[in-house]
Amino acid sequence: MILVTGGAGYIGSHACVELLNAGKQVVVLDNFSNSSRTSLERIRQICRKPLAVVEGDIRDQAVIEKTLREFGCTAVVHFAGLKSVFESVSSPLDYYDNNVIGTHRLLRAMQGCGIKRIIFSSSATVYGDPKFLPYTEDHPLGPVNPYGQTKFFVEQMLRDLFVSDRSWSIGILRYFNPIGAHESGLIGEDPKGVPNNLLPFVAQVAVGRRERLNIFGNDYDTPDGTGVRDYIHVVDLAQGHVAALASLDKPACFAVNLGTGRGYSVLEVVKAFEKASGRPVPYDLRPRRAGDVATCYAGTDLATKVLGGWRATKDLETMCRDHWRWQSQNPNGYDA
Ligand code: NAD
Ligand code: WQD
């Protein structure tokens, strides 16, 4: 049995599907602060398998210990946490509380139960401003916002834990820009309020929920002047977790990038989404957004080596098509 924290969220729900499809049993622990219970129903619908659920908070050590024992868990895939860079600047204490203290309590609970296998959702944001590209895993770490700091601190906590007890198996996965949705269109990203990220915003414009996209900056040193990012299909990303779990069958502590290794500009994404949806995505060119870098993409060789040959295979067209299927079938998200 695998404990998936934050399994009702965007990436967690896709990981639950891939774990169930790989024959694992799954229990989700989520406080539903940024998700809907409907996503769990949809996972059951896709997989036609049981999925256990505990409503709880990762900061509650007793609940985690009880869950780990009751369900006989052997590993944890840890997604739960807060993820908005913007919000982390205005509410840093909430971010340190949920992400750092929450993970500390989770690790204590695991230690108390003798469960020493964990996969952690880190982020490319731990690298900070690029000293060179692509970002390989040996790129210096230097997060530039509180959200990124929380990921960095948790990574450090995990590395220190491994040094103290080398019987742990720890996989740190640094995600680049996950987009897309399961091909059924039943699960996908459902941000609360105004989306901070590009794809959900573009999709909401295409579906008619918002009028126009703001493109932040067209004077970067990139081929068309707009920011370049490494977008990865969320199903590829989810499958990376199944591969990581298999690699953690022996003690280890590794950190690898999950990306495709190639970047697309904002304008390329807008065009691809217009093509996939058949809808226009009108936009306005705006000044640069504070904290953005021009270009960000992953070195992927280490991940392929460590994760037993895993690599992302879905292209931008597929990402946009799948994202659009989810958005058009659920124009107002899960609980409309
Ligand atoms: P999400 O907000 O959709 O999912 C997070 C889930 O965790 C939600 O279901 C939320 O209700 C739950 N949660 C939050 N705090 C909790 C707590 N204290 N206790 C229990 N449950 C809690 O986010 P996501 O996009 O699926 O991201 C999953 C993980 O991946 C996060 O850790 C995030 O930082 C990381 N990540 C995301 C991205 C991205 O672009 N989406 C990129 C890099 C890393
Ligand atoms: C992508 C590009 C924007 C919105 C963030 C986090 C990172 C990770 C993924 C969690 C940039 C441009 C965006 C809009 C725009 N999350 N843009 N108009 O900033 O690469 O990464 O999400 O770990 O930590 O920082 O992703 O989707 O916000 O932006 O022009 O309305 O789209 O300027 O060039 P980002 P994003």
What are the tens digits of pLDDT across the range 73-86?
A: 999 999 999 999 99
Nearest CA owner, ligand 2 atom 34? 227
User: In 3-state terms, what secondary structure has residue 321?
Assistant: helix
pLDDT at residue number 24: 98
d(CA 6, CA 170): 18
pLDDT at residue number 80: 99
Ligand 1: which of 14, 17, 30, 118 to mutate, judged by most atoms within 8 Å of the beta carbon?
Answer: 30
Q: Report which bound ligand comes closest to the CA of 29.
A: 1
Residue type, 333: G
d(CA 268, CA 285): 14
How crowded is residue 88: how many other Cβ atoms within 10 Å of its Cβ?
21
Pick the closest to residue 196 from 291, 332, 271, 74 (CA basis): 291
Ligand 1 pocket, 175 CB below 6 A?
yes
Ligand 2 pocket, 229 CB below 6 A?
yes
Q: Report which bound ligand comes closest to the CA of 53.
A: 1
Nearest CA owner, ligand 1 atom 9? 9
pLDDT at residue number 28: 98
Ligand 1 centroid to Cα of residue 157, in Å, is 19
224 Cα distance to chain centroid: 27
Ligand 1: which of 3, 18, 29, 33 to mutate, judged by most atoms within 8 Å of the beta carbon?
Answer: 33
- What single-letter DSSP state applies at residue 224? T
Question: Whole-prediction pTM value?
Answer: 0.98
d(CA 6, CA 35): 9
Ligand 2 pocket, 125 CB below 6 A?
yes
59 contacts 78 by C-beta, under 8 angstroms: no
Nearest CA owner, ligand 1 atom 34? 83
Helix axes 61-70, 102-113, angle to 10 degrees: 40
298 contacts 258 by C-beta, under 8 angstroms: yes
Atom of ligand 2 nearest to the CA of 177: 9
Tokens of 198: 């590009």
| Active site residue ranges | 147
pLDDT at residue number 302: 98
Helix axes 10-21, 234-247, angle to 10 degrees: 60
123 contacts 151 by C-beta, under 8 angstroms: yes
User: Which residues, at least 6 apart from 3, have a Cβ–Cβ distance to it below 8 Å?
Assistant: 27, 29, 64, 67, 68, 71, 73, 75, 76, 77
Q: List the pLDDT tens digit at each of the 336 positions of the chain.
A: 999 999 999 999 999 999 999 999 999 999 999 999 999 999 999 999 999 999 999 999 999 999 999 999 999 999 999 999 999 999 999 999 999 999 999 999 999 999 999 999 999 999 999 999 999 999 999 999 999 999 999 999 999 999 999 999 999 999 999 999 999 999 999 999 999 999 999 999 999 999 999 999 999 999 999 999 999 999 999 999 999 999 999 999 999 999 999 999 999 999 999 999 999 999 999 999 999 999 999 999 999 999 999 999 999 999 999 999 999 999 999 987
The C-alpha angle with vertex 32 and arms to 169 and 54, in degrees rounded to 5, equals 60
pLDDT at residue number 269: 98
Atom of ligand 2 nearest to the CA of 226: 34
How many residues belong to the chain?
336
Phi, psi angles (nearest 5°) of residue 116: -125, 30
Nearest CA owner, ligand 2 atom 26? 197
pLDDT at residue number 335: 83
The C-alpha angle with vertex 335 and arms to 334 and 336, in degrees rounded to 5, equals 105
Nearest CA owner, ligand 1 atom 4? 9
Digit-coded pLDDT (tens) for 143-167: 999 999 999 999 999 999 999 999 9
226 contacts 265 by C-beta, under 8 angstroms: yes
Ligand 2 centroid to Cα of residue 199, in Å, is 9
Tokens of 336: 């409309």
**Domain range 2-180+232-259, CATH class:** alpha beta
Helix axes 266-277, 198-206, angle to 10 degrees: 40
